[in-house]
Amino acid sequence: MILPVLGIDIAKLKFNVCLINSEDKLKHKVFPNTPDGFTQLVAWLAKQNVVHVHACMEATGAYGEALALFLHSASHTVSVVNPAAIKSFAGSRLSRTKTDRVDAELIARFGLAQAPPAWTPLPAEVRELQALVRRLESLIEMRVMEQNRLSSGIPVDLVRQSVEEHLTYLNTEIKRTEELVNNHINSHPTLKQQSELLDSIPGIAQTTAALLLSEMTDIKQYKSARQVAAYTGLVPRERQSGSSVRGRTRLSKIGNARLRRALYFPAITALRCSPFFQAWAKGLQERGKCKMSIICAVMRKLVHVAYGVLKNGKPFDPAWAKSA
């Protein structure tokens, strides 16, 4: 049985929907992006004689998360799709117009043609961990900006005092948020066990372990370590065509940028302190790889090893990590 498809274009204050029913007829509607708007959407679907729908939306972060959770809890099938896939689909249809109404129909057409897999929300404890870790990341970014302002020299005393006070506040909040992250992990046995497994990997400490647990989501959804590496954007992308195009192989960078940023310094630490990674990187160096290529390769290796320890439930072991 083919379900009616509902394309949803999410914005901060509202969302446009386009319903394609079994007769391939289109119905458009706009709702406020609020809990009351979600209830209005369900009532509108009932008026269209739709009991169960396959809702398709772009992954737009916080704007669409509440609606996705609401529809999932209402027993509807929900797909949260990478915006790049929708953009490519629009290009394949030579779409020239971009409005909220047109985008909602485009997303509905994509859902009908591609039948994207159903989305499953993260467990509540992982969603909370993700929110805490991302808040900590934002606080650290703000502290770096204020430190840069202070180091550049501020001639006005009142402004300099304001920046110093803000830095004091940020340092306090960062310390408090770090404690909240640690307490949250320690209060959930599964997260605590997974954190300890990740902490056994050279170069990965508690902070990076918390970010990996929050951003890699459910490890069971991945069938291989390569899928996790693809999710982080750490797989190579070749550029070759015919006899004239011979581009350099680079990282795809199509994936979770937070994970890539978080793995950079652990990769450097692993290269500096771990005999296992030093020996593994030596082989790459002998094959003529440059320093940055080796660091990126170690980042990808860390992802493979992290997948291995979480999947098997065993701490890092150099013996089996060679084949990870």
44-67 pLDDT tens trace: 999 998 889 999 999 887 888 999
For residue 258, being part of any structural domain is answered with yes
Tell me: the pLDDT tens digits for 161-196?
Answer: 999 999 999 999 999 999 999 999 999 999 999 999
What is the band of 225 on the pLDDT scale with cuts at 50, 70, 90? confident
Of 114, 144, 167, the domain-final residue: 114
Residues 6+ apart with CB under 8 A from 274: 202, 203
The two tokens of residue 314 are 């065993």
- Whether the per-residue pLDDT at 135 is higher than 90: the answer is yes
Domain count across the chain = 3
Q: Are residues 254 and 152 in the same domain?
A: no
- Whether the per-residue pLDDT at 269 is higher than 70: the answer is yes
- Whether the per-residue pLDDT at 148 is higher than 90: the answer is yes
Candidate from 31-35, 173-177, 203-207, 216-220 with smallest mean pLDDT:
216-220
For residue 199, being part of any structural domain is answered with no
Q: Are residues 220 and 173 in the same domain?
A: no
Q: Are residues 105 and 140 in the same domain?
A: no
Provide the pLDDT for residue 287. 85
Of the CA atoms within 13 Å of residue 120, those in its CB half-sphere come to 7
Q: Are residues 58 and 155 in the same domain?
A: no
Provide the pLDDT for residue 33. 95
For residue 145, being part of any structural domain is answered with yes
Provide the pLDDT for residue 239. 62
The DSSP code sequence of 70-113 is HHHHTT-EEEEE-HHHHHHHHHHTT-----HHHHHHHHHHHHHH
Q: Are residues 88 and 148 in the same domain?
A: no
Range 258-272 average pLDDT:
90
Cα 155 to chain centroid distance, Å, stands at 41
For residue 196, being part of any structural domain is answered with no
- Whether the per-residue pLDDT at 238 is higher than 70: the answer is no
Of 114, 141, 164, the domain-final residue: 114
Kindly report the average pLDDT of the chain as a whole number. 88
Amino acid at 322: K
- Whether the per-residue pLDDT at 247 is higher than 60: the answer is no
Q: Are residues 215 and 317 in the same domain?
A: yes
Q: Are residues 162 and 216 in the same domain?
A: no
Range 144-155 average pLDDT:
92
Q: Which residue has the tokens 């550049």?
A: 152
Strand-strand pairing, 245-251 and 77-81: unpaired
Q: Are residues 25 and 100 in the same domain?
A: yes
Of 114, 139, 160, the domain-final residue: 114
Q: Are residues 143 and 51 in the same domain?
A: no
Sign of CA dihedral 170, 171, 174, 180: negative
- Whether the per-residue pLDDT at 91 is higher than 80: the answer is yes
Provide the pLDDT for residue 111. 92
Instruction: State phi, psi for 17 to the nearest 5 degrees.
Output: -125, 150
Q: Are residues 180 and 275 in the same domain?
A: no
Tell me: the pLDDT tens digits for 6-34?
Answer: 999 999 999 999 999 877 789 999 999 99
Provide the pLDDT for residue 244. 59
The two tokens of residue 144 are 């770096």
Q: Are residues 10 and 64 in the same domain?
A: yes
Question: CATH code at 24?
Answer: 3.30.420.40
Report pTM.
0.83
Question: Is the Cβ–Cβ distance between 190 and 203 less than 8 Å?
Answer: no
Provide the pLDDT for residue 316. 87
**Any idea what DSSP says for residue 52?**
S
What is the band of 130 on the pLDDT scale with cuts at 50, 70, 90? very high
For residue 201, being part of any structural domain is answered with no
CA distance 105 to 238: 34
Range 117-145 average pLDDT:
93
Q: Are residues 238 and 301 in the same domain?
A: yes
The two tokens of residue 32 are 């406020």
CA distance 88 to 273: 43
The residue segments making up the domain with residue 93 are 5-114
